[in-house]
A and B are shown apart, each in its own frame.
Chain A
Amino acid sequence: MKKIAFLQNGASNKVLLLMGFLFLATFLCNPLQAQSKSITVKGIVNSEIGPLEGVSIYLKNSKTGTVSKADGSFTFPSQLKAGDVLIFSYLGYDKQSIIITETSTYLDIFMKEAPIDVLSAVNNNKRYKSKRPKKS
């Protein structure tokens, strides 16, 4: 008797599993298709002073990347998929993150200069010497 109940339970578990799988499949199907499509990303990096050479362009959380050429152009060395994030970074400019979509085959990036005030104080560890009154 116990065995039958167990078998029945097992069968219903299987049905549940199958249903769960179908349910998941319908949800995941579209993104799966989208993710499987690889995209070649090209583009240009500009700034106020024109095309920017030497901008580091890399895929977030990886070491894959490239740098922009003298005319600001770049071709990302590996195929990307929708949802990937490309980071553009260059000293003195604000970093930019671009989320790749299926249509991101050509990126026109404008890098903005970092808004900073250039300040400086030098500490030399020299012993303090007070300005004494002439008569003390």
Chain B
Amino acid sequence: MKFRYFFSGILLVFALQAQTQAWDFDHISFKKADSLAMVNKGASLDDLPELVYNLTHSLETDAERFRAIYLWVCTNVKNDYGLYAKNKRKRKRYQDDSLKLEAWNEKFKKRIFKTLLKRKRTICTGYAYMVKTLSQLVNIDCKIINGFAKTSSGNLDDLRYPNHSWNAVKLDGKWYLSDPTWASGVQNLDNSRFKFDYNDGLFLAPPRLFAINHFPLEAEWFLFKDMQPTFTDFLEAPIVYNEAYKLLANHKTPQKLYNEVPRNYTLNLECLLKPNINPKKITLDIDDGISSKTIVPDNFIIKDQKLYVKHNLTKYGFYDIHLSIDDQLVVSYVYKVKRFKAKSN
């Protein structure tokens, strides 16, 4: 009997560990932290201790201090597309030559920090570095996590080598994940301009949702132990958009981006909504390569914050299917509805 309690205790600990996300701090108001980040908008990076002092000295908890630092970085540091493109090109060129790659990294690192200091522009690692450095100055345990990130371009060529950095932070004894680069704003690829557009969903993001498009080099930084995705799972996963982080706590099915199904197959979608999210409108955009139509799915229900969407695929074809919740693009899948040859013996 005692053992039963012991094991259920352990299970509970694991369950709690697996659920470290922003709403753990719903009892704390981040109003003051947010206003401090706003008051210090435009501050220079010349004196980091002074900046971090101004951001945090009147705040009482580590969660608030981290919030002020994180929000300041996200709303003051711009993504530099030129640097991004150059680094991507060089890293690709040197991916099989570790010495050249290291030499490039050393050289580029200096340039990155100079640009960050003088122009407050950077790329992912610079964001993660800023959040880590400022947090450590107020004794908050914060790390840079390197790994793979799957963007909405869905280009698997980008995932042949690590391409992204984000943060893990320890608050009240638990680790949390945040992605300051993607939270900061949106990069317009057509004109290379960056637009600040803070996305709060990536602050202390739910780890299981995060794992759909963030694959850390070290598995411990998934922050959950059961059912960790393999790299193949990650490569094959659906495309999750930044907006999803505002609305979802997890995305469960379909687990793959690309699916081949017979005619009249019923698409079954299951997501877990964040607490306090009550969607009014669920739509599917179905694109057959020639035209795109927005439809209301055959059936959807929301029960205990779980969203179930069902839709029958009645015609043969090749479809990109995009789920939107309250007009916000959340996730994409590809469905090939085809004839399956009868198995011959």
**Residues of chain A whose beta carbon lies under 8 Å from any beta carbon of chain B:** 54, 56, 58, 63, 65, 67, 87, 89-92, 95, 113-114, 116-130, 132-133, 136
Contact A121–B109 (Cβ < 8 Å): no
Contact A123–B242 (Cβ < 8 Å): yes
Q: How far is the CA of A92 from the CA of B79 in the complex (A)?
A: 17
Contact A95–B146 (Cβ < 8 Å): no
* Cβ-based interface call for B291 (8 A): no
Q: What 5 pairs across the A-B complex have the smallest Cβ distances?
A: A92-B113, A120-B123, A136-B318, A121-B164, A128-B332
Contact A130–B320 (Cβ < 8 Å): yes
Rounded to whole Å, the gap between the CB of A88 and the closest CB of chain B is 10
Instruction: Decide: A89 near B144, CB < 8 A? Known: A95-B136, A116-B125, A118-B123.
Output: no
Q: How far is the CA of A114 from the CA of B125 in the complex (A)?
A: 12
Contact A132–B152 (Cβ < 8 Å): no
| Interface Cβ pair total, 8 Å cutoff | 142
Contact A130–B50 (Cβ < 8 Å): no
Give the nearest-CB partner of A87 in chain B.
B49
25 A–B pairs (Cβ distance < 8 Å), ordered by A: A87-B49, A87-B137, A92-B109, A92-B110, A95-B136, A114-B109, A116-B129, A117-B105, A118-B126, A120-B163, A120-B165, A121-B158, A121-B163, A122-B79, A123-B151, A123-B152, A124-B151, A124-B186, A127-B285, A127-B322, A128-B152, A128-B322, A136-B289, A136-B318, A136-B336
* Cβ-based interface call for B308 (8 A): no
Contact B320–A89 (Cβ < 8 Å): no
Rounded to whole Å, the gap between the CB of A32 and the closest CB of chain B is 27
| Residues of chain B contacted by A120 (CB below 8 angstroms) | 83-84, 87-88, 123-125, 163-165, 181
Contact B45–A91 (Cβ < 8 Å): yes
* Cβ-based interface call for B29 (8 A): no
Contact A126–B189 (Cβ < 8 Å): yes
Which of A56, A125, A130 is close to B243, meaning CB atoms less than 8 Å apart?
A: A125
Q: How far is the CA of A65 from the CA of B49 in the complex (A)?
A: 9
* Cβ-based interface call for B108 (8 A): yes
Rounded to whole Å, the gap between the CB of A107 and the closest CB of chain B is 17
Contact B124–A91 (Cβ < 8 Å): no
* Cβ-based interface call for B69 (8 A): no
| Residues of chain B contacted by A127 (CB below 8 angstroms) | 152, 285, 322, 329, 332
| Residues of chain B contacted by A118 (CB below 8 angstroms) | 87, 105, 108-109, 112, 123, 125-126
| Residues of chain A contacted by B285 (CB below 8 angstroms) | 127
Contact A116–B144 (Cβ < 8 Å): yes
Instruction: Decide: A56 near B48, CB < 8 A? Known: A95-B137, A120-B123, A128-B322.
Output: yes
Contact B136–A124 (Cβ < 8 Å): no
Within 8 A of A (CB), among B245-294: 258, 285, 287, 289
Q: How far is the CA of A116 from the CA of B109 in the complex (A)?
A: 8
Contact A124–B188 (Cβ < 8 Å): yes
Rounded to whole Å, the gap between the CB of B333 and the closest CB of chain A is 9
Contact B165–A91 (Cβ < 8 Å): no
Contact A126–B125 (Cβ < 8 Å): no
Contact B50–A56 (Cβ < 8 Å): yes
Give the nearest-CB partner of B285 in chain A.
A127
Contact A91–B113 (Cβ < 8 Å): yes
Within 8 A of A (CB), among B43-88: 45-50, 53, 57, 79, 81, 83-84, 87-88
Give the nearest-CB partner of B317 in chain A.
A136
| Residues of chain A contacted by B242 (CB below 8 angstroms) | 123, 125
Rounded to whole Å, the gap between the CB of A16 and the closest CB of chain B is 39
* Cβ-based interface call for B116 (8 A): yes
Q: How far is the CA of A89 from the CA of B81 in the complex (A)?
A: 27
Contact B162–A117 (Cβ < 8 Å): yes
Q: How far is the CA of A130 from the CA of B57 in the complex (A)?
A: 49
| Residues of chain B contacted by A125 (CB below 8 angstroms) | 152, 186, 241-243, 329
